[in-house]
Amino acid sequence: MTSLGTLEDLPQSYRDKLTELNLVPLWPNMRAVLPHKVPSRKTQTLNWHFNDLRPLLIEAGDLTPMEKAERRVLVLANPGHGLTNMQATPSIYMGLQLILPGETAPNHRHTPNAVRIIIEGEGATTIVDGEPCVMERGDLILTPSGKWHEHQHEGDGPIIWLDILDLPLIYQLEGSWAIEGKAQNQTLKRDKSFAEYSAAGVVPELGFQRENTDSPMLRYPWAKTRDCLVEMAKHYPNSPLRIAYVNPENGASLFPSIGFGAMMLRPNETLSLPKRTTACVFHIVEGQGALSVDTNNVIQWTEKDTLSAPGYTEIILWNESSTEPAFIITADEAPLHRYLGIF
């Protein structure tokens, strides 16, 4: 590979004339934007330990009332992307949100797609386009682009969840915006996933073509996801135990931007993930163990922790318990990579 000319190779007077006309020479930057064979990645491997974070989130509850926050969130910012850019990976935003008993996070809707994974607490409900979604530990609750959503909490203790959005992507596309609305009327008693999608392979008879491709299921209860993994373990003693969250009507990923999955690690199991192009995040629902990236970077994890890892790497996960399984929810940029033909 020949080295290319640098900016310093050019006379200052020439560079000044380029700057004046909003021009830059490509060749000094060519290798930076097109590195040979492997892309440059800013995403760092790291763990946001829940036990470190929780006290600060609870403190935010004292310091900042809901009216001053709209959403009371501490953002899990990957320093590789610059803390203020609020990116866990190139396209994924993550944050831990706190709502105290009796509080509500007001109704709004926006262009980014969002998912919440419930970490702690009970008695809260997210209302999505009139549909109340009960929030229980490990549940995945969707608020696809454009849907009204507000959160209410009538439980006793605080409720804490992980928000995952494609905000960095939509923001970069200059497509990120929101509107505020008044409190929703609940048009249903319970979520459709409970009423209509509770049995695998059986879906409501619509009698018409659905207009959009959003998943009709807004709540993916953890109890069912966990049961599915435990059942799979009985039948596939030698296979990795991994499942994808999909739209039950067409098998598509939940969002065009972010794909979600869940995995179970048997006691003492070591799982080497297939090397892939996309960065990935991991949320530990149950268990304790370690993650390594390209065999050198080893990080311990435990229940409720959230981790990030860059793409083009070999990721290995260990369950360090000899008696208990571990359960992990994953999110990655695979749907977008597939669409773009770079997966």
Residues that bind ligand 1HN (CB under 6 A): 71, 73, 95, 97, 105, 110, 114, 149, 163, 165, 167
Which secondary structure element, helix H or strand E, spans residue 329, and what is its range? strand 326-332
Q: How far is the CB of 215 from ligand 1HN (least distance, A)?
A: 17
Whole-angstrom Cα distance, residue 208 to residue 252?
19
Q: Which is nearer to ligand 1HN, 73 or 217 (CB)?
A: 73
Q: How far is the CB of 75 from ligand 1HN (least distance, A)?
A: 8
Whole-angstrom Cα distance, residue 304 to residue 286?
7
Q: Which is nearer to ligand 1HN, 135 or 167 (CB)?
A: 167
Whole-angstrom Cα distance, residue 6 to residue 239?
51
Q: How far is the CB of 17 from ligand 1HN (least distance, A)?
A: 42
Q: How far is the CB of 151 from ligand 1HN (least distance, A)?
A: 6
Whole-angstrom Cα distance, residue 17 to residue 267?
65
Distances (CA, A) of 160 to 11, 60, 70, 105, 144: 57, 12, 15, 13, 20
- In the block, tokens 């009139």 appear at 130
Q: How far is the CB of 236 from ligand 1HN (least distance, A)?
A: 36
Q: Which is nearer to ligand 1HN, 116 or 327 (CB)?
A: 116
Amino acid letter, 7? L
Per the CB < 8 A criterion, the answer to whether 256 and 339 are in contact is yes
Whole-angstrom Cα distance, residue 205 to residue 202?
9
Q: Which is nearer to ligand 1HN, 142 or 264 (CB)?
A: 142
Q: Which is nearer to ligand 1HN, 114 or 159 (CB)?
A: 114
